[in-house]
Amino acid sequence: MGNEISVNPDRLEDLANDMVTRLSRIEDEYRNLHMELAELINSAPAEYRHCFYHVGDPWGTGNQLVGQLSEMEIDLRMVANKFADADNLVGKLYKLYEQYGAMTALGALMTKQLAFYGLGFTQFIKNADGVFTYKHMAALQKVTDKIDETKKLGTMTRAFLSPLYLTSKYKDVQLADLVHKKIAKYLPDDVINYTNSSKAIYKGIRKNTLSAAKFKTFAQTGAKFAKTNAFSTIALTGIMEAGGMGLKISENYSKYGNNPDVLKRENAKAVGNAVNNTVGISGGAIAGAVVGGALGSMIGPVGTVVGAAAGSFVGGIVGEQAAKLTAGIAEKGAILFKEPIHHGVELFKNGFEQAGKAIDAANKGIDMVNKQIKETIADPIGKVKEIGKGISKAKDTADSLIKGAKDFLGEKLSFF
C-alpha cells in the first residue's frame, strides 16, 4: 500500500454544502416548533398552562445543535480549502511571489530612506549631553522656505507630497519636515524624541537609574511614533483586505449563486476574515514598528527609522500568523450577522456576479495549468514529446493554411 492519502477537495466541499442545506432546514424546523408551542400554550386554558412549564425549549435546544453543526461545517470546509491549496501548484508559486514582493517592498523603502540620509538631505546631530537634534541640507531648507513663502505654490507642493498635508494637523509644519516625512514616514521631531527617550531607557537600565519619568516619556513618544505609523498601516492593510474580500465574494457568487444558504454563510465568513486580518496584521505591524524603532535607536535616529520599517514588516508577518489563530472565531461571529451582511452585499450583486464569471474562468485556467504541471512532473520526457507533436501539428496546419491562401489569391487575382 502507498503512503499517500488521496482526497478530493470538491467532495469535501459538496459535503459542507449539503451540511449547510440541512442546517437551514433544522433552523426553520426548530423556529416553527417554537412558534407552534407558544401558540399552543397561549390557546390553552389558563388553569392548564402550567402543564407546559417543563416542556423542552425547541429554540434553545435547536440553536445549540445548529451551533455545533455550524462549527463542524466550518472545520470541514477549512480542511477542504487546505487540501485544495496543497494541490494548487500555481497557488504555491503565487504565495512565494507574495513573500518576494513584500521583501522587495521592504528593501525599496529602506533603500529610499538610506539614500535620503546618505545624501545628507536631513542630518541628525548629537550634542554634548548625547541628545540628538536635526537640520536639513541648506539647499533643501532654502528651496522649501521659498516655496512656503508663496501660499499658492506651497499649497500645491504640499498636495503633491500628500493630500493629508493640507489638513490643519500639518499647517504649521515646515515643508522641509514634510519632505522628510514623505521619504522616511515620520516627522524629524518624532524620530528625535523617540530616539532620545529610547536611549534614556537603555542608559537607565545599564546604570540602574531607570525612573518612572523616563518610562513615561518613552511611552508617550512611543505612542506618538506608533500613531504616525498606524494611519498608513491600517489604511493600506484595510484596502488590501477589502480587495481580497471582494474577490472572495465574487468567487462565492460564481460557486454558490444557486445555493443562497451557502452563499450567505461564505460571504459572511469573507467579511469576518477581512476584518480579522486587518486588525491582526495592522496591530502586528504597528507594534513591530515601535519595537523595531526602539532597537534601531541604539545606532541613532537613522537606525530608528530603518528599524521601524523592518519591525513593521516582521510585525505584519507575525500579525498575519496570529490572525490565522482567531480566524475561526471571526468567522463564527460574522455568521451570526449573515443576514444583514447578505443584504449589504446584495446591493452590489451584479458587479460581484460579473467579477465572479471572470474569476471562474481564471480558476479553470489555473486548474488546467496545474494539470499540465503535474503531468510534466510525472512524465517529463513524454510531455516534451507531446509538446513537440503539438508544435509540429500546428506548423503543418499553418503551412496548409498559407498554401491554401496562396492558391486562392492566385486564382482570384489571375487577371493581373
More confident residue, 52 or 234: 234
pLDDT, mean of residues 242-248 = 84
For the segment 361-380, what is each residue's pLDDT rounded down to a tens digit? 766 766 676 676 666 666 66
* Co-location of 134 and 240 in the same domain: no
Q: Phi and psi for 81 in degrees, rounded to 5? A: -65, -40
Cα–Cα–Cα angle for 306, 206, 287, rounded to 5 degrees: 35
- What range defines the domain where residue 271 resides? 207-352
pTM strictly above 0.75: no
Residue 104's CB is within 10 A of a number of other CB atoms, namely 11
* Per-residue pLDDT, 58: 72
* Domain stop point among 322, 352, 382: 352
* Co-location of 135 and 257 in the same domain: no
Interacting residues of 267 by C-beta distance below 8 A, sequence separation 6+: 249, 252, 338, 341, 342, 345
| Assigned domain for 310 exists | yes
Q: Which of 361, 98, 93 lies closest to 250 in space, CA to CA?
A: 361
| Assigned domain for 89 exists | no
* Co-location of 172 and 219 in the same domain: no
* Per-residue pLDDT, 200: 87
| Assigned domain for 159 exists | yes
| Assigned domain for 62 exists | yes
* Co-location of 298 and 228 in the same domain: yes
Interacting residues of 345 by C-beta distance below 8 A, sequence separation 6+: 249, 267, 271, 352
* Per-residue pLDDT, 208: 83
In terms of DSSP bridges, do strands 132-136 and 122-126 run parallel, antiparallel, or are they unpaired?
antiparallel
**pLDDT mean across residues, the chain:** 80
More confident residue, 92 or 225: 225
* Co-location of 135 and 71 in the same domain: no
Is 409's pLDDT higher than 70?
no
* Co-location of 303 and 241 in the same domain: yes
* Co-location of 237 and 174 in the same domain: no
Domain count across the chain? 3
* Co-location of 72 and 161 in the same domain: no
| Assigned domain for 274 exists | yes
In Å, what is the CA distance from 13 to each residue of 80, 186, 279, 289? 6, 48, 28, 40
pLDDT, mean of residues 256-272 = 89
pLDDT, mean of residues 275-300 = 90
- Cβ-contact 160, 153 below 8 angstroms: no
* Residues above pLDDT 90, as percent of the chain: 15
More confident residue, 50 or 250: 250
* Domain stop point among 352, 370, 394: 352
In Å, what is the CA distance from 97 to each residue of 92, 93, 305, 373, 398? 9, 6, 26, 18, 37
Is 321's pLDDT higher than 70?
yes
Give 52-117 as a DSSP string.
Answer: GTTS--HHHHHHHHHHHHHHHHHHHHHHHHHHHHHT-HHHHHHHHHHHHHHHHHHHHHHHHHHHHH
| Assigned domain for 3 exists | no
* Co-location of 176 and 211 in the same domain: no
| Assigned domain for 262 exists | yes
Spatial distance between the Cα atoms of 28 and 260, rounded to a whole number of angstroms: 15
- Cβ-contact 137, 121 below 8 angstroms: yes
| Assigned domain for 177 exists | yes
More confident residue, 57 or 73: 73
pLDDT, mean of residues 322-339 = 86
* Per-residue pLDDT, 387: 59
Type and span of the H or E element at 124: strand 122-126
Spatial distance between the Cα atoms of 11 and 342, rounded to a whole number of angstroms: 26
* Co-location of 244 and 314 in the same domain: yes
For the segment 157-216, what is each residue's pLDDT rounded down to a tens digit? 999 998 888 988 888 899 999 999 999 889 999 999 999 999 888 888 888 887 888 888
* Co-location of 272 and 326 in the same domain: yes
pLDDT band for 416, please (50, 70, 90 cuts): very low
- Cβ-contact 275, 248 below 8 angstroms: no
* Domain stop point among 325, 352, 379: 352
* Co-location of 213 and 164 in the same domain: no
Max CA distance (Å), the chain: 112
Is 144's pLDDT higher than 90?
yes
